[in-house]
Amino acid sequence: MNPALGLLVFLGTLLYAYAEALVKLLLPAKRKAVRGELVLVTGAARGLGRATAREFARRQSRLVLWDVEAHGLKETATECEGLGATVHTFVVDCSKREEIYSAAEKVKKDIGDVSILVNNAGVITAADLLSTQDHQIEKMFEVNILAHIWTTRAFLPTMMKNNHGHIVTVASAAGQFVTSFMVAYWFNFMDFSFSSSRLIPERASNVLKKLTDVKFDAVVGHGSNQ
């Protein structure tokens, strides 16, 4: 695609998203009641993950917070507890499938059934493609793509069994527009934007809606660094 045309498409998409957000602000839909729900947020040590955890805490949800950064995770937990929430923290490296599955089992056994999963953890390497190291590219795909699959596989079956749940995926606007120093990162969210906004609503969601009342949402934003 011509770069100028790509920029216009990106700006058009961005303006549409802002217009949609404005309409929803002026004509809000009925909010989902989350009081007492067990909410798991990945990448909760800072940034959007911490802000998301605080918002759920204000709405009196019970929180399970995951991140690889213990210090930031503790700070988030302290803030949320100050808002009156019950908080459980787990130091989890979301690039490692075994850690995700192990932590998920501990949550289910010791705390209860997660009813809202927010896949927010994300990593970025700001460099051109040839300067980005192989292990950095692998890390981005492991956290930004595969971790979403592992967490969903861990918690979706129980949500379907209970016919109650909500899975939220935080993606990035970088999936819509590429710059020279974010090519590898763009590949992550181009792939995930496609899988989230195309495959789930148009195909899988049609099947899942017949089987369960579990909801799926994709939020275009920027996740906190894992």
Residues involved in catalysis? 185
> Which tokens belong to 143?
């956290």
Neighbours of 7 (CB within 10 A): 12
Residues near 77 by beta carbon (within 8 Å), at least 6 away in sequence: 63, 65, 87, 89
Q: For residue 36, give the DSSP letter.
A: T
Say how far apart CA 216 and CA 114 lie, in whole Å.
14
Q: In the beta sheet, which residues pair with residue 38?
A: 62
CA distances to 68, 162, 173 from 40, rounded to whole Å, are 14, 17, 23
Three-state DSSP at 93 gives coil
